[in-house]
């Protein structure tokens, strides 16, 4: 059977355009792929459209709007997830309007579908006390405990995304002063993040213990499992949650769910509370736009507002004297 125009353009978009011309990361491509997988499932199950016969003529703004409604009403997706799916669809049709100008009107109609406004959840983070309690849990008498402590300290110290952490190789670590680590983030952009003295000490011991100091191991994963394969994101999450559960009986204020990304939020909030400029926080976190970093400043303002709300209320009307009860003032006014 001859491939449809939809199949041809979508394959070119995901397989060649995004990785080759846009230099998009593999995780972003997977996210886009999952969006179109859901769209194809919707067309098959809800519209009775055979996937192998789906053409661009069948995909219009009405179908996309119905698909988004299906995501929220049937699958129970929240506004943020719906907007993420719509962003992936927008990206494809923005590409398509250049590849197939005859469908420019349909592309623009789909691009005109608005994102849904939704309330932003407040940025959650760990207090300094809670963080210290979690970092005190790994057993430093065992090799696995020393590895886990090094991993968690590096995760916090650099404010890295979990994928950036698992992608680290020995080559990315420079312990000579000034010690820095090279992180590769979204869009394969690299940044160099300075390391604190304690983290440098932990990394030095870790590299020596794991015998990762020879030149032939520069491309070896920094953190790996028993098969010497790099840790996965799920593996890092498991390590973190294990020690969080151990710490719950020793401290209060730990959220119900603690993820590696929450540790990233924690680093940003601690820097902000230490009066570090937002520009430096943006560069450390690898944000493209300062507006992304400003969410931490807004969260900190909300914390201050909540603290002020705990103060005693100002005196009410019954507690304050009124001017007409002030006899010396009344006498002076009458003398004018």
Q: Which residues contact 62 (CB under 8 A, 6 or more apart)?
A: none
Evaluated on CA atoms 257, 259, 263, 265, the torsion sign reads: negative
Q: Which residues contact 285 (CB under 8 A, 6 or more apart)?
A: 159, 264, 267, 268, 293
Element (H, E) at 5: helix 5-12
Short-list 135, 146, 159, CA closest to 240: 135
Peptide bond into 178 cis (omega under 30): yes
How many whole angstroms separate alpha carbon 150 and alpha carbon 132? Answer: 14
DSSP string, 256-308: S---HHHHHHHHHHHHHHTT--HHHHHHHHT-SSHHHHHHHHHHHHHHHHHHH
How many whole angstroms separate alpha carbon 284 and alpha carbon 278? Answer: 10
Annotated catalytic residues are: 161, 186, 261, 264, 287, 296
């Amino acid at each position: 059977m001859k491939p449809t125009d939809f199949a041809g353009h979508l394959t070119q978009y995901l397989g060649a355009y995004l990785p080759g011309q846009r230099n998009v990361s593999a995780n972003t491509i997977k996210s886009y792929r999952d969006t179109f997988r859901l769209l194809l499932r919707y067309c098959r199950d809800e519209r009775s459209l055979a996937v192998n016969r789906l053409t661009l003529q069948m995909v219009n703004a009405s179908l996309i709007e119905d698909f988004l409604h299906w995501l929220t009403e049937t699958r129970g997706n929240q506004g943020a997830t719906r907007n993420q799916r719509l962003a992936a669809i927008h990206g494809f049709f923005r590409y398509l309007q250049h590849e197939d100008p005859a469908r420019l009107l349909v592309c623009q109609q789909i691009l005109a579908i608005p994102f849904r406004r939704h309330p932003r959840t407040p940025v959650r983070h760990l207090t300094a006390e809670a963080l210290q309690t979690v970092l005190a849990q790994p057993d430093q008498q065992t090799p696995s405990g020393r590895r886990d402590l090094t991993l968690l300290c590096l995760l916090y110290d650099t404010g890295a995304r979990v994928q950036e952490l698992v992608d680290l190789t020995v080559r990315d670590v420079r312990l000579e002063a000034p010690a820095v680590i090279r992180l590769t983030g979204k869009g394969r952009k690299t940044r160099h993040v300075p390391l604190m003295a304690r983290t440098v000490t932990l990394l030095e011991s870790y590299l020596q213990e794991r015998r990762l100091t020879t030149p032939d191991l520069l491309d070896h994963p920094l953190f790996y499992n028993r098969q010497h394969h790099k840790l996965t994101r799920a593996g890092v999450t498991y390590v973190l949650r294990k020690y969080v559960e151990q710490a719950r009986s020793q401290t209060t204020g730990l959220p119900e769910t603690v993820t590696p990304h929450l540790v990233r939020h924690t680093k940003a909030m601690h820097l902000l509370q230490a009066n570090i400029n937002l520009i430096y926080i943006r560069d450390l976190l690898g944000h493209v736009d300062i507006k992304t970093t400003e969410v931490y400043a807004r969260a900190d303002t909300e914390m201050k507002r909540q603290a002020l709300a705990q103060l005693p209320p100002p005196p009410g009307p019954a507690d304050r004297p009124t001017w007409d009860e002030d006899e010396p003032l009344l006498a002076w006014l009458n003398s004018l």
